Amino acid sequence: MKQITSIEERAISLAHYIIDSKDTVRGAAVKFGISKSTVHKDVSERLRKINPSLAKQVRIILDENKAERHIRGGMATKMKYSNLKK
């Protein structure tokens, strides 16, 4: 991954990554080596000022992830306890 020089470039890169991969804020944070708070601020606040249409596309993905997070949490718990039985 190339070095990102500005906050605006980082916000746009994060947006494209989230849209392409449908990854979560947490996943994007790990991928880019920054905090979840920074990812969230970049794609929720900064991106709205830089590129509103891109911000709307990211918001759709983030809303889907938010709606599904209880399912992911349940699956993670199920996997944890099924592995403990073995």
pLDDT of 1 higher than 80 = no
User: Which of 14, 11, 15, 13 has the alpha carbon at shortest distance from 57?
Assistant: 15
Q: Which of 56, 35, 34 is nearest to 44 (CA)?
A: 56
Residue 85 has pLDDT above 90, yes or no: no
pLDDT, position 36:
96
Given a contact cutoff of 8 angstroms between Cβ atoms, the answer to whether 11 and 43 are in contact is yes
| Domain residue limits, the chain | 7-85
Could you please report the per-residue DSSP string of 71-82? Answer: HHHHHHHHHHHH
pLDDT (average), residues 34-40: 96
Question: E strand or H helix at 67, and its extent?
Answer: helix 52-85
2 pLDDT tier (thresholds 50, 70, 90): low
